[in-house]
A and B are shown apart, each in its own frame.
Chain A
Amino acid sequence: MATEHAPNASEYIVHHLTFLTNKKQVGLVDWSVFHLDTLFFSIGLGLLGVFIMARLAARATSGVPGRFQAAVEIIVEMVADQAKGIVHSPKSREFVAPLALTVFVWIFLMNAMDLLPVDLLPKIWSWIFGAAGHDPHHAYLRVVPTADLNATLGMSAAVLLLCLYYSVKIKGLGHWIHELFTAPFGAHPLLWPVNFAMQLIEFVAKTVSHGMRLFGNMYAGELIFMLIALMGAAWAGTLGSGLLWIGGVIAGTLWAIFHILIITLQAFIFMMLTLVYVGQAHESH
């Protein structure tokens, strides 16, 4: 504790952007590492979301609904309508529509973690970590799972798997492979490699952009919250720092209000793209 000093801005941000891991990550890709904070918050929020909805669903009445039931019904109807408009197979919708609902609610909850004060949970965690006898300076915690590329790419990879599954299921394996080589340019043998390359690029681009879009938005949002928190932390009794502090309050308020839109919008976009990609898997070229 003797060496304790207030972190400078870059230390503060780097500290906030470091994941809680089971072991140190070596290199860009390391399949033995888990982000414990991302897993904790994403699984926790996912379970929270679906259990609340399941509890409500178990008591759902077809009579006059309560306010909470009505609110959930609005979301469910919205998802059901979108699914009906995009995925034209009722059989597939039995799974895809609930999946879209899960995606929307889950991502919304994970994004909403951004609205908690940036230092709240990390600070609590550092107390717990310190109380457990570790160095509180190494108590890393990131509370927004969707600002972790692994989480968003994991979900978009799940959507890719769904697309492949429905492609094979709806079109049949033979027809699908045939399509991989003959669409979009034509069935001429010379065009087969080009077609296949195009299809591969399409799948990769879809999946990566799907995950990256959500990650980018939430990562940037989180970063801005941290910068605003730094403004607030500049308070040192002088006039200039006082103005910075006021600026931090105003900017924090505005950004948080704006972020309500972003977290909802990003959850909605991720859900819609999930439906669109699965819908595309049903259509022949």
Chain B
Amino acid sequence: MNLNATLFAQLVVFFILAWFTMKFVWPPIMKALDERAKKIADGLSAADKAKSDLQLAEKKVVDELKKARESATELRAGAEKQGAQLIEEARQEAAQIIAQARKAAEGEAAVAAQRAKEALREQVAVLAVAGAERILRKEINAQVHADLLANLKQELK
């Protein structure tokens, strides 16, 4: 157990080693540690953000889905309504056409009946003359009895 100059040598070596560590060992390792801590913190916050983003997106999806469903329902209701309206319109148009056609047919029938009546009237006059001829066995001068016939025609109306 002797004290000697080894003590001072050890003292100096101690400081040199400590200086070396301070210069070349400590800063790079601490830098790596700090950087990694930052990376991990960033990663965690990014994960958190992604999670909340996902939740937001899911919520949005649900909302959109709901909206789409609503608008689809609305659309369908509109379409049905429009369809019904179209049918109604078509029905009305058809009824109108039918009524028109009926009216036209009725008009035509009336004209035809009138014409037939006219024709009959003419013929009745001829028949009446022929009948009267037969009855009278005498020729009747149509010219003479034109007034009479005209009166008859008038009465037949």
Contacts and interface: CB of A to CB of B under 8 A. Distances in A.
Interface residues of A, number: 56
A69 B32 CA distance: 10
A106 B15 contact: no
A61 B36 CA distance: 8
B4 A34 contact: yes
A42 interface: yes
A25 B4 contact: yes
Given A39-B9, A154-B7, A57 B22 contact: no
Interface stretch (A96-104, A235-243, A255-263): A96-104
Contacts, number: 147
The interface size bin for chain B is 20 to 34
A31 B36 CA distance: 49
> Majority SS of interface residues in chain A?
helix
Contact of A57 (B6, B17, B29): B29
A50 B21 contact: yes
A54 B20 contact: yes
A51 to B, nearest CB: 9
Contact of B18 (A30, A31, A72, A102): A102
A155 B4 contact: no
B22 to A, nearest CB: 4
A97 B15 CA distance: 13
A57 B20 CA distance: 12
Contacts of A150: 2-4, 6-7, 10
Contacts of A32: 4-5
A229 interface: no
Given A60-B31, A102-B18, 5 more contacts: A19-B2, A38-B10, A54-B25, A60-B28, A62-B35
Interface of B: 1-11, 13-15, 17-18, 20-22, 24-36, 39
Interface of A: 19, 21, 25, 27-35, 38-39, 42-43, 46-47, 49-50, 53-54, 56-58, 60-63, 65, 69, 72-73, 76-77, 80, 94-95, 97-99, 101-103, 106, 145, 148-151, 153-155, 157-158, 161
